[in-house]
Chains A and B, each alone.
Chain A
Amino acid sequence: MRAFGRRRAGNAALAAAVLGAGALVVAVAIAALAGADVMAPYLVALLCWATIPIGALGMLITYQLIGGAWGLVLGDVAAAASRTLPLIALLVLPIFIFQADLYPWHRPEVMAEARVAAKAGYLDATFFTIRGVGYLIVWVGLGVLLAWGEGALVRRPRLRAIAAIGAILYVLSVTFAAVDWAMSLEPKFASSAYGWIFLTDALIAGLAFSICAVALLGRDAEGRNPFGEGETRVLSGALLGCILFWTYIVFMQYLVIWSGDLPDSVAWYQARVGGGWTPVVWAIGLLHAALPFLVLLSPRARANWRILTALAAVVLAMRFVHIVWLVLPAFGEQGWIQVPLAVCALIGIGGLWLGLFLWTLPASRDRVMVGAERLRHG
């Protein structure tokens, strides 16, 4: 019924990028006029969008290691998303440059506290930047090795070896990126599961985004299913498994901190309930954990690609909400101005990112081909 042609993809890419750049300009203008801080919403928006390509890279690594038909269906989209990692690297640079505005450990009065001072060697401007550049090199490098060229969807021993070593580097870099860029916003908070939660967030984001993208772009001229029934079941199972694991680990962190009842950890949760955040917590619990779990329990729902796509879209949206909830409260009460700023930043970075993603999607002659259609056409 609708063929997402090469030219249309190019136009959409350009439109998204222009919109994104415009939104970022608007965000800076609002911030300048209102005298508000633009870096906080920028960081939040960047982390939200960055989870998608980071998670997609994780999917490519997993695919090289264990294989499976799902990789052929989602591989094109995951590879295209991974190819956008250089843009993410570019967008992270302002974080390094303006880190003093973002991270409280740059302020002497915060550093004066014994527990924060004890890690001054780690929370150090130069070391922070060096580590950050290191993570970016790992991601961009793995993206180049696994997602560029013809090799993305082929499992080869050489790529598998890269993926095995890459998996270790990947897990450690994502973990410490989460610690550096998000957890250290509250320098007294330390949770050993934090990195793992962020990693799971990223993998779910990559998976949910890939499912949505293939469902939107992957239907051929006859409007046939983007996924076969068997693949739908596998993808539903994967989504269900990821959601269960995420819920488990998020709840375990909460349970341990609640039981321990230690001030520094509890303060972290206290900043994230009450005020406007209580409904957000409920929304995350209901829409990101309960809803997909209950729906995907049914084998018939698991075999239905429309249900899968709808759930993936909900999960992807809640992914953003979760990361906003994770990061934004660290900046304390900042007033209503945060709302338009955050929206502009999300549209801004999202537009730039989606533009590059659409531009880098694989095409043959005049058609974008992803998912099952690519399988059918070889």
Chain B
Amino acid sequence: MADERSVNPQAPTETLPLQPYGSVSDQIAMIPLHYPLRRRWLIGLAASALFTLLLVVAIGYLFYAGVGIWGINSPVFWGLAIANYVWWIGLGNAGTLISALLLLLSQQWRNSLNRFAEAMTLFAVFCAAMFPIIHLGRPWFFYWLLPYPNVMALWPQFRSPLVWDVFANVIYLLVSIIFFYIGLIPDLATVRDKARGRLGQVFFGVLSLGWRGSAAHWQRWRRTYRICAALAVPLVVSVHSGVAMLFSVGQLAGWQTTIFPPYFVMGAMFSGFGVVAMIAVVLRHTFRLDSLVTTRHLDLLAKVLLASGLITSYGYIMDAFTAWYSGDPFERSTLIDRFTGAYAWSYWSAVILNFVVLQGLWFEAVRRNPVLLFLIGASVTTGMWFERYMLVVTTLYHDFLPSSWGWYVATFWDWSLLAGTIGLFFFLFFLFVRFLPMISMFEVKEVLREERVEARNARSQ
């Protein structure tokens, strides 16, 4: 132990500043056990609870009055509800990708970010999953989408992406929960061991499933965790490709384009990385976790954000180019509508907030500046919402027959659902921050261990 502490904390390292293992546990495990900012936490929880209440009211009134309370009408039958759904599920995807894909690619820097990224995924998917159901009009019949045996021998249309989406989303939610929980187990045991109160001991004791940290435990845990990760990555792709298919299986101009599936997957990843960057900056600042979430983490996050943003912009370019190149008059008129039509503001907001602001990340000073990174993350998150809105509305409001053209204006109840799900997301996140270790302690220690060995090797040379 003395040797560990004598390591110079100023030594140059890859990701984390060298620090005693114990300080990692102290910094993270003490947050749920002795929460430092009770007053601020309560205010935040109350505020988000208020918005969650708005969500409850909005859904309650929707069930009472029907979808007529929204702005949807012929020809725009998909409004904010679908835009919100696509937006939320996209945000959720990044948590899985950071955690699972980077685990499989052996990118150690993920270890400081994966826990809260996964939590973000769970809550975002939860918010997303609500929309298809409340959008049904008669939500109590939602189980008709499931292929259950029935005396009328009725089956859902298996060629419909609506059914694919049900399968993809349910499985994705289950695997995300399992992946999150399995990743938590060793840390839950650490909190259990540090807990002084009986309540905490029992709560974390039950959750940690009798984890003792034996070699056999670790060996099985590692295998399970990697298998879950390997399952989660294709699921992310399938979920968001399924979402893209909701648009592109039809024949509508602006939706029937082959790049949609990969373009949606990249856009999802892009928007989610924006959120993860924002959360990382806020948690790091609030709980003074600078030694665990370092500027190098911010730098790497920013680079991934830039890369995924550039690939998403490739989707924009190819989508627009192919619409023009097809020579199809309807495709072209939808394209022109997006550029100059009644909803052009949503297109240009998406382009500016997603791609123009993003170019700041070419500069290292911007990438390592938490405030600027936070602002760019917020810009991307908002921009991607505009993109979802643009995709839904610009295709529908002008379809093939000018006689059936129409408008879409979101109502108070449309907006209250968006505000309400944001409130719910924050509500769940506040609970997570308060009661669970928000950064993976044992995985951070793994990185520390490796860096320590490297530093020792470097010194002995």
Contact = CB atoms under 8 A, between A and B. Distances in A.
Interface of A: 114-119, 122, 164, 168, 171-172, 175, 179, 188, 190-196, 244, 248-249, 252-253, 255-257, 259-262, 264
Contacts of B362: 164
Interface in B331-375: 332, 362
A194 B328 CA distance: 18
Nearest to A114: B327
A119 B317 CA distance: 17
Given A115-B326, A119-B325, A248-B237, A262 B251 contact: yes
B324 interface: yes
6 contacts: A115-B326, A115-B328, A118-B329, A122-B325, A192-B321, A248-B237
B258 A191 contact: yes
B314 A193 contact: no
Contact of A260 (B251, B310, B314, B329): B251
B260 interface: yes
B223 to A, nearest CB: 11
B271 interface: no
Given A118-B332, A248-B262, A255-B261, 19 more contacts: A115-B328, A122-B325, A190-B327, A191-B258, A191-B259, A192-B259, A193-B262, A196-B259, A196-B262, A196-B318, A248-B241, A249-B262, A252-B258, A252-B262, A256-B249, A259-B248, A260-B249, A260-B250, A262-B256
A261 B322 CA distance: 17
Q: Report, as a range, how many residues of chain B touch the other chain.
A: 20 to 34
B25 interface: no
Nearest to A115: B327
- Which of the listed residues A190, A192, A252 has the most CB atoms from chain B within 10 Å of its own CB? A192
A261 B310 CA distance: 31
B258 A257 contact: yes
A79 B254 CA distance: 41
A195 B328 CA distance: 19
Contacts of B381: none
B165 interface: no
A370 B397 CA distance: 59
Contacts, number: 86
A119 B324 CA distance: 8
A120 B261 CA distance: 29
A171 B328 contact: no
B249 A179 contact: no
Contacts of A262: 251, 256
B125 interface: no
Contacts of B324: 119
Contacts of B234: 244
Contacts of B310: 168
A255 B262 CA distance: 13
Contacts of A171: 314
B260 A256 contact: yes
Given A115-B327, A256-B258, A190 B318 contact: no
Nearest to A120: B327
Given A171-B314, A195-B318, A196-B262, A118 B257 contact: no
Contacts of B250: 259-260
The 3 A-B residue pairs with the shortest CB-CB distance in the complex, in nearest-first order:
A115-B327, A259-B249, A192-B259
A101 B378 CA distance: 53
Contacts of A114: 327
Contacts of A253: 258
A118 to B, nearest CB: 4
B363 to A, nearest CB: 12
B251 A190 contact: no
Contacts of B259: 191-193, 196
Interface string B158-189: 01000000000000000000000000000000
A178 to B, nearest CB: 11
A188 B327 CA distance: 8
Contacts of B237: 248
B319 interface: yes
Contacts of A172: 314, 317
Interface in B261-317: 261-262, 310, 314, 317
Nearest to B311: A171
Nearest to A194: B258
Contact of B248 (A116, A119, A249, A260): A260
B396 interface: no
Contacts of A191: 258-259, 322
Given A175-B318, A252-B262, A192 B327 contact: no
B318 A260 contact: no
- Which of the listed residues B241, B319, B326, B329 has the most CB atoms from chain A within 10 Å of its own CB? B326
A190 B256 contact: no
Contacts of A264: 326
A179 B437 CA distance: 51
A274 to B, nearest CB: 22
A284 to B, nearest CB: 18
B229 to A, nearest CB: 13
Contact of A252 (B241, B318, B322): B241
A256 B167 CA distance: 19
B318 A118 contact: no
B195 interface: no
A64 B262 CA distance: 25
Contacts of A252: 241, 258, 261-262
A196 B261 CA distance: 12
Contacts of A168: 310
Contacts of B28: none
B241 A118 contact: no
Contacts of A116: 327
B80 interface: no
B319 A192 contact: yes
A90 B423 CA distance: 61
A119 B321 CA distance: 11
B251 A119 contact: no
Contacts of A117: 327
A252 to B, nearest CB: 4
B318 A119 contact: no
